[in-house]
Amino acid sequence: MPASSTAYLQLEGLSKRFGQFLAVNNVSLCVERGEIFCLLGASGSGKTTLLRLLAGFETPSAGRLLLDGEDLAGVPPYRRPLNMMFQSYALFPHLNAERNIAFGLEQERLSKRQIAQRVDEILEVVKMAPYRARKPHQLSGGQRQRVALARALVKRPKLLLLDEPLGALDRKLREHTQFELLNIQQQLGVTFIVVTHDQEEAMTLATRIGVMDRGEIVQIGTPREIYEFPATRFVADFIGSVNLFDARLSTASVSVAPAAVDAARGTCLHSPELPAPLLVDQSIEAAADAALWVALRPEKIALSRQPPAQQHNWARGTVREVAYLGDLSVFLVRLESGRELRASLTNSSRECAEQFARDTPVYLSWDSTSAIVGSS
């Protein structure tokens, strides 16, 4: 396939206003063919409205929407070459699984034989052939989800929109379904747009994630980029668990820095909440007195009973709470400044969390490559 300069799905300055409320604010976005793109945001962030704009249930107040080179402005939902899997699945209660799936094909005026053949095919893909004659209320949650998926996929859409696809399933089933969804996507090569508020779902499914906040996309990136290099304080806080510090550029000399850190690239900061200087292996352009933030993930903090060798990136405190989660133990450590930090430890041996019981004095330390500094 020749590489084209325009993306498969292209959103240009898309906005949607409900009265005074700006639900989607100037969103521009490109999605490539075969991608699984996740729109991740809290409820009310505009992600569902964006999906409804794509499906054609809402008309944009401004901006353009192009799919495979075709402008979708003014195209009603029933003529758009895309399909949606609803959060509630929206299965037709009076039709059985098979008839639900056939409904979309019947609208295309295909012959009875073609319809039957394609329904059979997709029932095999979602492994629902034995339950084809059942009505939606006779199916379990996971089975309903598969019928809804099959009903949307059988139309061979250019784009499949999924609104919280795993939201209605219980935890055990979710993990299983997640991988199955990935399997089916790879098998059929359909481009997915997934809306979710669940970051775990977004992380496992997505090739790229767009984080939404108050109608705007604040960062687009791969799951790893979003997690390891959050662009803004909001993203750092929203994705995963994090310790955020207010910090300023340090006036102290960088002589404390070990030779390994290149002074030109690294940044030395000071936070009133930490006893030692913060050294971050990342350069930042900011005024000397600008308010900056530093984000530090709990799993990147090391705990020890002995003071660390390094003179920077450490803190001292006492363990306030220990949450044993099986694979992980999460510690809430109160520093001398009163600030509480979260640190986690993989339980690689059965007793390794025992030495950091409640009220134990501990030292925390981390690498200069672990923290992220930002200004917005």
Partner 1 sequence: MSRPPIRPPIRPRRALLLPLLLALGLAFLYLPIASLIVYSFNASRLVTVWDAVHSPTLKWYGELFHNSQILEAAWLSVRIAVMNATGAVILGTLAGMALSRFGRFGGRALLAALTTAPLVMPEIITGLSLLLLFITFEQLTGWPAQRDAATITLAHISFSISYVAVIVQARLAGSDGSLEEAALDLGARPSVAFRRITLPLIAPALLSGWLLSFTLSWDDVVISQFVAGPGSSTLPMVIFAKVRLGVSPDVNALATLLITLVAAGVLLSTLLLQRRERSRARALALSQEG
Place of tokens 């981390």: 366
Our finding on whether 155 is near partner 1 (CB under 8 A) is: yes
Our finding on whether 278 is near partner 1 (CB under 8 A) is: no
Q: What residues between 42 and 71 interact with partner 1 by CB under 8 A? A: 55-57
Our finding on whether 138 is near partner 1 (CB under 8 A) is: yes
Give residues with Cβ within 8 angstroms of 127, minimum separation 6: 146
Are 126 and 150 in contact by the 8 Å Cβ rule? The answer is: yes
Residue in 33, 64, 132, 134 binding partner 1, rule: CB under 8 A: 134
- Residue 228's CB is within 10 A of a number of other CB atoms, namely 15
CB nearer to partner 1: give 92 or 179: 92
CB nearer to partner 1: give 48 or 199: 48
Which of the ranges 138-146, 219-227, 349-357, 360-368 carries the binding residues for partner 1, by CB under 8 A?
138-146
Give residues with Cβ within 8 angstroms of 328, minimum separation 6: 299, 344, 345, 346, 347
Output the DSSP codes for 3-26: PPSS-SEEEEEEEEEETTEEEEEE
Give residues with Cβ within 8 angstroms of 94, minimum separation 6: 135
CB nearer to partner 1: give 135 or 248: 135
Are 248 and 355 in contact by the 8 Å Cβ rule? The answer is: no
Taking the complex as a whole, how short is the minimal distance between the CB of residue 91 and partner 1, in angstroms? 8
CB nearer to partner 1: give 127 or 224: 127
The site string for partner 1 over 82-121 (x = CB under 8 A, - otherwise) reads -xx-xxx-xxxxx--------xx--xx-------------
Residue in 47, 146, 151, 342 binding partner 1, rule: CB under 8 A: 151
Our finding on whether 17 is near partner 1 (CB under 8 A) is: no
Our finding on whether 316 is near partner 1 (CB under 8 A) is: no
Strands in the chain per DSSP E: 9-18, 21-31, 36-41, 62-67, 70-71, 82-85, 159-163, 191-196, 208-213, 216-221, 243-249, 267-270, 278-280, 292-296, 302-304, 314-324, 328-335, 340-346, 361-365, 372-374
CB nearer to partner 1: give 130 or 326: 130
Are 270 and 250 in contact by the 8 Å Cβ rule? The answer is: yes
Query: Which residues are paired to 6 by β-bridges?
Result: none
Our finding on whether 179 is near partner 1 (CB under 8 A) is: no
Taking the complex as a whole, how short is the minimal distance between the CB of residue 104 and partner 1, in angstroms? 3
Our finding on whether 311 is near partner 1 (CB under 8 A) is: no
CB nearer to partner 1: give 86 or 234: 86
- As a whole number of angstroms, the distance between CA 148 and CA 331 comes to 42
Our finding on whether 131 is near partner 1 (CB under 8 A) is: yes
For the chain, the residue count is 376
Taking the complex as a whole, how short is the minimal distance between the CB of residue 200 and partner 1, in angstroms? 25
Our finding on whether 279 is near partner 1 (CB under 8 A) is: no
Residues of this chain that bind partner 1 (CB under 8 A): 55-57, 76-80, 83-84, 86-88, 90-94, 103-104, 107-108, 131, 134-135, 137-140, 143, 151-152, 155
